[in-house]
Structure 1
């Protein structure tokens, strides 16, 4: 009830029902909390043990965990669109480009759990959040600096930095969040953790999508301006009179704007359909220029949206200081036995 309006609201013009549905979703969450509290007092065995939220490490950790996945869910979404829709790369090339992030994340996770956290505790997670944010900031610079000409090789350094920071955070944070949870509530705590992760990712995708597509629509003229000098030259070579070139480029500008604001990318806007009197040579020029302008727009919109990721990772950095300094090793079987007794 919250995520669906966020996802569809922009394309529908934010009608009143989207606000009403989100409000109702928040109210329904309140009903759920009241019901779980009542079930705890009367029947026992609630789906969500609300008493867990009285544990500071758990409540702060859940908030931080949600923000973390809002950041990463949004990043994965806009990153994929940037490479495939913006730059026009194949899914295979985009997937292979993601390899440095995956390898660095695996290395960061292993070192964090086995080496760093036992010695430095939550400071490792705080460092990881800042490293991840620094990787995002580096990616912003690379994407905007190289624009449509960017290559997979030029993405390796920021992706490796981001992935390593991600690995430093993601694996040990679960342990630090759950370290103070009583053994009888371990199932409820684990389920709540998984739910918060999924909700955080869904919200991250919805919110990042709003930022990305709004920026694409508002800044569509950037890409047209970038390819206009080359368009003039190509139209001149094609024999188009100078007086007619401005009209062709004006129509091209409208097409790019409508395409950037479209909610269904495969659908071709009416402004992008070739007129019957358009010479084939001019059509070919515009067909080539369209993806180039789109790539310029996506490079800038991707960088703009990634600042949202940097900001949320800084929020994660601050939230980590609410977690315990170190993990406490406990014998769960012993806890369960004492509880049963």
Structure 2
């Protein structure tokens, strides 16, 4: 469903309106991730129907109904005149590759890393090779592969994918470990933990207001500035975690979360639009779909990998505060490493 959003934006809008819509799409994803934590905390504390944490799944029901009605009523038809066949084999190979990678990373640590987890991780390598071979042969035969190799050979796409992997993996991992840390040693309730992310959502909101205008002025340079601001926010968070933990409150965390949220917004808002804007129009839809697929994959990958590293450190003398600081400093380092890569975008 998610890739169709950008495909519809590319099909229905042009020029400044398209750029603004893509920017708003990026901000919506980041702000929703932060606000979702707050809503989740409210639902858990309300204990709707005595379901406890399971009540968070109920959110999708009313939202899905409203979205379905709105789509039918408001969205014009964007069906292509010459519909292409779905690459079922490619989709199956991609799904298999993701399962082989994410399942052992998610379940390995709590199960004590049994043999099957290592076998699964090792099997990811031939699965990726098989997927790449199938996509290459499909495109060479004139069919429509799921991930066209010609699109991946575009310089802007390669850079964009690297930036997307760096950002969404660390962002997804941080959101996961932050919830564990604040509701663990810090002793916050689910609602308090969610409210600690409110400044980050405010940072995204500020970016959504001024980001499109700044993007017109700075272009890809806005992403570079975002990495720098984000690194400052996470560095300050690490200092807070190392000095006052576990006596932290939503107010204690407000300043670093606001800075990190503002920086993350400056990266997320223009990223897809800038990259897709440098891809030939005929391949823009495929490019946006690949970027969004990498976004969803990396969010899950971040929760699995960063979460595993955090839990391993938290169980040592580092404690949860030290582990959170280590994660924040790692994100700081990755953010700074992304700046020279971003500078290669036009």
TM-score of the two chains, using structure 2 as the length reference: 0.68
Mapped to 1, the partners of 2:312 and 2:200 lie a distance apart of: 27
Farther off after superposition, 49-58 or 158-167? 49-58
SS of the residue aligned with 1:149? Answer: coil
Match of 1:313 in 2: 335
Contact 2:152/2:158, CA 8 A, preserved across alignment = yes
- Partner in structure 2 of residue 25 of structure 1: 124
Q: Deviations over 1:12-51 (max 9, x none)?
A: 3333332221121222122111111111121422222210
Q: What is the match of residue 142 of structure 1?
A: 240
> What is the distance in 2 between the residues matched to 1:311 and 1:204?
16
Cα drift, residue 218 of structure 1: 2.1
> Gapped runs of 5+ residues in structure 2?
1-99
Selected match of 1:164 from 248, 262, 273: 262
Tell me how far 1:88 sits from its aligned partner: 2.0
The answer as to 2:69 corresponding to 1:47 is no
Partner of 1:216: 314
> Residues 49 and 185 of structure 1 are in contact (CA less than 8 Å); yes or no, is this contact kept in structure 2?
no
Answering whether residue 216 of structure 2 is matched by residue 118 of structure 1, we say: yes
Aligned partners of 2:186 and 2:245 also within 8 Å: no
Q: State the alpha-carbon separation in 2 of the partners of residues 55 and 43 from structure 1.
A: 19
TM-score of the two chains, using structure 1 as the length reference: 0.69
CA distance in 2, matches of 1:69, 1:196: 8
Deviates more, 1:29-38 or 1:13-22: 13-22
**Which of 139, 142, 156 in structure 2 is aligned with 1:57?**
156
SS of the aligned residue for 1:154 comes to coil
Give the alignment of 1:116-265 within 5 angstroms. Answer: 116-219=214-317
CA contact (8 A) 1:74 1:309 kept: no
How many aligned residue pairs are there?
247
1:248-299 Cα distance to aligned partner (Å, 9 max, x none):
xxxxxxxxxxxxxxxxxxxxxxxxxxxxxxxxxxxxxxxxxxxxxxxxx222
Q: Which residue is equivalent to 1:272?
A: none
SS in 2 for 1:218: coil
Query: SS where residue 151 of structure 1 aligns?
Result: coil
CA contact (8 A) 2:227 2:263 kept: yes
CA distance in 2, matches of 1:57, 1:147: 42
User: Equivalents in 1 of 2:187, 2:254: separation in Å?
Assistant: 18
> In 2, are the aligned partners of 1:105 and 1:163 still within 8 Å (CA)?
yes
* Unmatched segments (≥5 aa) in structure 1: 223-296, 325-341
Secondary structure of residue in 2 paired with 1:322: coil
The structure whose Rg is larger is 1
Runs of 4+ more than 3 Å apart: none
- What is the Cα deviation at residue 204 of structure 1? 1.1
**Paired position in structure 1 for 2:197:** 98
Give the CA RMSD over aligned residues: 1.6
